[in-house]
Structure 1
């Protein structure tokens, strides 16, 4: 009972503090993720001992924490997908695709080579590489798209990357498990693995998109034709992301890809209906008493539904971030001795300072991005919930065979949250100031070119 009361008190005080001190935190080299992580370490068994989170001695704790991390990842992927309001044919999508697929593959290859060279078995080395490859779409809000329709290239690329590669890491993780001796469906042969990979991606995309389109059209038909299904947009958001994830699992596809695809598809249904005008502009003059009528208006119903779902998912995403980072901090507090192992620390440092930058710069060859944009994307590869979930999932599947993965993953998360979180605001601010200074010069050049004609 005492521990339960302390948890309620801790979470309540922490949430109120972050909300009230949001301004000062934003002006300092701090992020909410850094604060949550530090508090988790402080209350964990390594410091105050108010919370016990030793994964080695409690299989039930491992399962519960893995489920919480999985839920947090689902929420964040859906939320990120709903913020990417750019037509799919726009070449801006090429940036997150380069980061989310080839850059992630290069990262896996480099980290696999490092792990194997340092003496890890091939299966463990590949699984470790798959754990460390995904970036996090949540932990540095400065790097996230500001709103639906934000097309700033760096923010868009990093947000889209976080949505893509959490699912793209799954085939490498499955192959690592298979090489470690764990029976995994679809890894019996090269042909079976190729078929599993194609179906995993294609089936996830198809199911996520189809469910999102069906959901939107059903809700809007009920609202615009019959005046029904009004309100509770948050329930619709949670329902859609849960159904998309569950259906993808039943179909044996990559469920994280399906959830992200559902978020993107839902946003593009709104984009198709609203057009170039952003939802905030379409709804800026809506009065409180007019909300029910706007929800039934065919001209604004899409914008109203998408905005309601986006706002709700962004709020619960903050709760998910707080919960998972507190838990990660408690786990760090319990396993800090293992995290000091030389191989674990070196692995995290190689990831942050070598593998990530090299993989991104290689994947961005020929991309429509200048040098500063490439360097910023190469540096800002934040590791967090995705790496934590995959590490727990693998240990749950293979047991002690994958124990070496956990301390390396925790080291990568701590170093990334602290280092990237402390530098994100400064680096992005410097880049944006340079971009703003360059914009007038481009306008002047266009003006001079027009006068010359």
Structure 2
């Protein structure tokens, strides 16, 4: 396959993606759906490919997906309005601490029973499919920072309300579960390559599950606050750094915090997300957050679309060669049954979301880039022997999720927004005077 043809397909795909947002706006369709389909069609006409060639280099795919995920996490942290708090983030904690472990366990059981995976590979599959990714159905993610600049330049409906529990929970969940799934990826890999669990079980609990999370939180928060001080307290030429206009600052923070945390063996994904929250809290309503978020969002979308083009091309180049009826059942059951069920159970008794909002949060567990990263990362290890089967199930699940959630996100969220708008108007009018 010539590099010229690759550039042509990539250019056409991204050109299509650049004009699609306006075309699909307000429709039951998403840009990722169209890009995935374009990649599939492009894969059919590209000659001279080995089966699944766009994803064969697990290490290269891992690095591309890794960059996409950490940039996404910075964008998520900058976009969230709600200060980090145990009570106000209650739905998010429920999705992380209850729904995610239940999802991993359910998918692992299905992978072992329906696909015939070994127990370690089944656990790995559960962990790989645990992260959610609302960017692939952008109607269900928060729109961006509500700052002075965002409010002044926004049109009606452009700025998401702090009261929108669905978008907030799904976005904050995605910010945390990209890191929270890592200990379980390691659990699957340890079971494959480190012998009996008695030899490393305590290490996994104290270090892999707890220690690395603590390091990620501490480094992220300290770095975010320090960088926030740099933005809002340091002056250059008589003006604060935040007033100079430097969107590249967001990428600098992203890569520096991630690299530092990984060097000291913490979870870099978690550190980047926490750093973004800390940076936003330094001066919450300053317009620079909108500038930084916009730059991050565009970078994230570019990398995400490249990955979707790769997945689409791989679909027509043998990605599903290892897919069995059992594997397809795992993907369908995760999207249609497991996630909605465990999400609903996790939110029982949650007073911050009503019944319709809890149903929407439970339903929209979009699978995407995080799953690509974790699987590519795992396959760069020498211990995984069921790579084709895992790629087939994960690729199929992402495809199903992109299509189903992409079709339903717009109408479902529109109905929720209309209902919320009616309730707000009714509350503003007050009780009728008899």
- Shorter-chain TM-score bucket reads 0.7 to 0.9
Displacement of 1:319: 0.9
Distance change in 2, residues 1:331/1:56 (3 Å): closer
SS of corresponding position for 1:383: coil
In the aligned structure 1, how far is the partner of 2:386 from the partner of 2:19? 45
In the aligned structure 2, how far is the partner of 1:264 from the partner of 1:242? 16
State the match for 1:144 in structure 2.
141
Distance change in 2, residues 1:270/1:54 (3 Å): farther
Q: How does 1:39-54 map to 2 (within 5 A)?
A: 39-44=38-43, 47-49=44-46, 52=49, 54=51
**CA deviations over 1:159-206 (Å, ceiling 9, x no partner):** 11111111100011100111122589x994332222112111111011
In the aligned structure 1, how far is the partner of 2:246 from the partner of 2:61? 28
Distance change in 2, residues 1:37/1:203 (3 Å): same
Displacement of 1:237: 1.1
SS of corresponding position for 1:344: helix
State the match for 2:177 in structure 1.
165
Contact 2:328 2:393 in 1 (8 A): yes
User: How many residues are matched?
Assistant: 414
Match 2:123 to one of 122, 126, 145: 126
Instruction: Give the structure-2-normalised TM-score.
Output: 0.88
SS of corresponding position for 1:260: helix
Contact 1:135 1:165 in 2 (8 A): yes
Deviates further, 423-432 or 50-59: 50-59
Higher relative contact order (CA 8 A, sep 6+): 2
In the aligned structure 2, how far is the partner of 1:258 from the partner of 1:96? 17
In the aligned structure 2, how far is the partner of 1:241 from the partner of 1:203? 16
Contact 1:43 1:51 in 2 (8 A): no
**CA deviations over 1:123-175 (Å, ceiling 9, x no partner):** 11110100111111311111111221432110111111111111100011100
Displacement of 1:90: 7.5
SS of corresponding position for 1:404: helix
Displacement of 1:13: 3.3
Displacement of 1:56: 7.4
The reply on whether 1:350 has 2:347 as its aligned counterpart is no
In the aligned structure 2, how far is the partner of 1:310 from the partner of 1:67? 22
SS of corresponding position for 1:433: helix
Displacement of 1:309: 1.4
Deviates further, 413-422 or 88-97: 88-97
Instruction: Give the structure-1-normalised TM-score.
Output: 0.84
State the match for 1:95 in structure 2.
91
Runs of at least 5 residues in structure 2 that lack an aligned partner in the other structure: 147-159
The reply on whether 1:64 has 2:60 as its aligned counterpart is yes
Contact 2:65 2:369 in 1 (8 A): yes
